[in-house]
Amino acid sequence: MNYKNLFPYFDLNPNDIYFDSAATTLKPKVVLDAEYEYNVKIGANSHNNLFKNAYIANQVLEEARRTCAKFINENNSEQIIFTSGTTHSLNQIVSGLKKHFKENDEVVLTELEHSSNLLPWKVLEKENKINLKYFNLNDNGSINIDKLKNSLSTKTKLVSFASNSNTMGTFNDIQKISKIIKAFNNEIIIIVDCAQSVSHHKIDVKQWNVDFIAFSAHKMYGPFGLGVLWGKKNLLELLEPIFYGGGNNSLISHNEFRLAKLPMRLEAGTLNLSAIYGFKTAIEFIENLTYLKINEHLQNLKNYFIDNLDEIEINKFNFYNLNNNEPIILFNLKNVNAQDFGSFLNKKYNILVRVGKHCARLSNEFLKEESTIRISFGIYNTIEDIKKLIIALKDADSWIEEIL
pLDDT by 10s per residue, the chain, length 404:
789 999 999 999 999 999 999 999 999 999 999 999 999 999 999 987 789 999 999 999 999 999 999 999 999 999 999 999 999 999 999 999 999 999 899 999 999 999 999 999 999 999 988 999 999 999 999 999 999 999 999 999 999 999 999 888 999 999 999 999 999 999 999 999 999 999 999 999 999 999 999 999 999 999 999 999 999 999 999 999 999 999 899 899 999 999 999 999 999 999 999 999 999 999 999 999 999 999 999 999 999 999 999 999 999 999 999 999 899 999 999 999 999 999 999 999 999 999 977 877 777 777 777 889 999 999 999 999 999 999 999 999 887 666 65
Residue 249 shares a structural domain with residue 191: yes
Residue after which a domain boundary falls, among 220, 252, 287: 287
CB 112 within 8 A of CB 362: yes
Same domain, 20 and 157: no
Last residue of a domain, one of 237, 263, 287: 287
Residues 219 and 99 in one domain: yes
Choosing from 269, 287, 305, the residue where a domain stops is: 287
What phi, psi does 275 have (nearest 5°)? Answer: -70, -35
Q: Is the peptide bond before 263 cis (omega within 30 degrees of 0)?
A: yes
Task: State the pLDDT at residue 404.
Answer: 59
- Same domain flag for 170 and 296: no
Q: What is the H or E stretch that residue 295 is in?
A: helix 291-307
**Are 62 and 179 in a shared domain?**
yes
Eight-state DSSP code of residue 137: B
How many domains in the chain? 2
What CATH number does residue 315 fall under?
3.90.1150.10
Contacts of 158 (CB under 8 A, 6+ apart): 97, 105, 107, 108, 188, 189, 190, 191
Same domain flag for 276 and 337: no
Is residue 16 located within the same domain as residue 75?
no
236 with 379, same domain?
A: no
Neighbour count for residue 366 (Cβ, 10 Å) = 18
- The residues, ordered by sequence, that sit 6+ positions from 328 with a Cβ below 8 Å of its Cβ are 22, 166, 167, 168, 169, 374, 375, 376, 377
Note whether 262 and 367 are same-domain residues.
no
CATH of the domain at 278: 3.40.640.10
CB 23 within 8 A of CB 357: no
- Candidates 312, 359, 396, 403; catalytic one: 359
Edge-first strand order for the sheet with 189-193 is 80-83, 227-231, 212-216, 189-193, 156-162, 105-109, 130-134
* 72 and 214 together in one domain: yes
- pLDDT value of residue 363: 75
Question: Are residue 374 and residue 279 in the same domain, yes or no?
Answer: no
Angle between helices 29-37 and 273-289 (to 10 degrees): 150
Q: Rounded to whole angstroms, what are the CA distances from 16 to 5, 196, 312? A: 13, 23, 22
Contact 281, 34 (CB under 8 A): yes
Judgement on whether residues 325 and 262 belong to the same structural domain of the protein: no
Q: What is the pLDDT of residues 82-131, one digit of tens each?
A: 999 999 999 999 999 999 999 899 999 999 999 999 999 999 999 988 99
Give yes or no for a contact between 216 and 75, defined as CB atoms under 8 angstroms apart. no
Q: Is 68 a catalytic residue?
A: no
Range of the domain at 380: 4-24+290-402
